[in-house]
Structure 1
Amino acid sequence: MTIKNKIKTFFTMDDEYEYVEEEIDLPEETSIPQRRSQKGQNVVNLKSMQQPSSKVVLSEPRSYNEVQEIADNIVNRRAVVINLQRVDHNQAKRIVDFLSGTVYAVNGDIQKLGTQTFLCVPDNVDVSGTISEAFADENEFERGW
């Protein structure tokens, strides 16, 4: 190699890498289903199409002290339905405020399902539809909710 070539290779960005292609063997369960040439003969493994199931936690706190457990479920990406009928009105407000902050922190959503029932979901759960706020005893429950 001449000095000119050495200087040229020193100042150029030509990196000499050796590329090796390797074939990866996939397990049979996760392999991509192959199409058959005949119409109506396409076979798809449904187990490969299923996603992990989400969990929904039902919670009926009796005091504000239980709100941390509910928030932990939301942070762990579980939807939570909260029934606040067993706590007094002031504690229920504090619980909803705390859970609203938790839901906001995980980019989730909180929705009112009933007079004292709420749904808190993290960002991995999509909620569609709405529940109307026309309750049977509307005047009785308008006090602060």
Structure 2
Amino acid sequence: MSIKSKIKNFFVDEEYEYEYVEEEQLPEIKPEQSKKNKQNVVSLTSLQQPNSKVVLCEPRTYNEAQEIADNIMSKRAVVVNLQRVDHHQAVRIIDFLSGTVYALSGDIQKLGAETFLCTPENIDVSGTITSSLTNEDDFNKGW
């Protein structure tokens, strides 16, 4: 006997009982059972946003566009009122938000003269709002 086997015999008790099971005794998994187990899979994306939110924003400068975009990226619909921003900055904000919505496969819609709705892809909007364009409304000329 080698030293290795002596040490092994000293530390390990070799009184093991082995039980042999024939293949016939094992329960068989039928293909029907495995299909049932796969049907219990739940998509986590459907559970992430159980209650949707709508955020109302009234930016005063272009710097607030990033905060609005963060809300859209968080899968929230955002209504943007641009009445308190000068026309040049309002155009820049809408351009920025249009890029954000496009990147997220969302949608942007005009609700009124200076009001827009930005939605991510998980929110569907149905219907349209028609507006009558007048010569007095300078904001509509740029859009």
TM category, shorter: 0.5 to 0.7
1:112 aligned partner: 110
Of 119, 127, 131, 2:125 maps to 127
Query: Does residue 1:139 correspond to 2:140, yes or no?
Result: no
Question: Larger C-alpha radius of gyration, 1 or 2?
Answer: 2
1:90 aligns with 2:88: yes
Q: Deviations over 1:11-68 (max 9, x none)?
A: xxxxxxx8778xx9xxxxxxxxxxxxxxxxxxxxxxxxxx811000000000000000
Q: What is the match of residue 70 of structure 2?
A: 72
Residue 100 of structure 2 is matched in structure 1 by 102
**Paired residue secondary structure (1:139):** coil
SS at match of 1:111: strand
Q: After the TM superposition, which parts of structure 1 deviate over 3 Å for at least 4 consecutive aligned residues?
A: 18-21
Cα 1:83–1:19 shift into 2, 3 Å: farther
Measured on the aligned residues, the alpha-carbon RMSD in Å equals 2.1
Residues in 2 aligned to 1:80 and 1:19: alpha-carbon distance in whole angstroms:
54
- Please tell me the residue identity of whatever aligns with 1:111: Q
1:87-143: CA deviation from partner (whole Å, max 9, x where unpaired): 0000000000000000000000000000000000000000000000215xx211243
Structure 2 match to 1:28: none
TM-score by length of 1: 0.63
More helix by share: 2
> Equivalents in 2 of 1:57, 1:82: separation in Å?
8
CA distance in 2, matches of 1:143, 1:134: 12
Letter in 2 for 1:127: V
The gaps in structure 2 that reach 5 residues or longer are 1-26, 38-48
Q: Distance in 2 between matches of 1:57 and 1:140?
A: 29
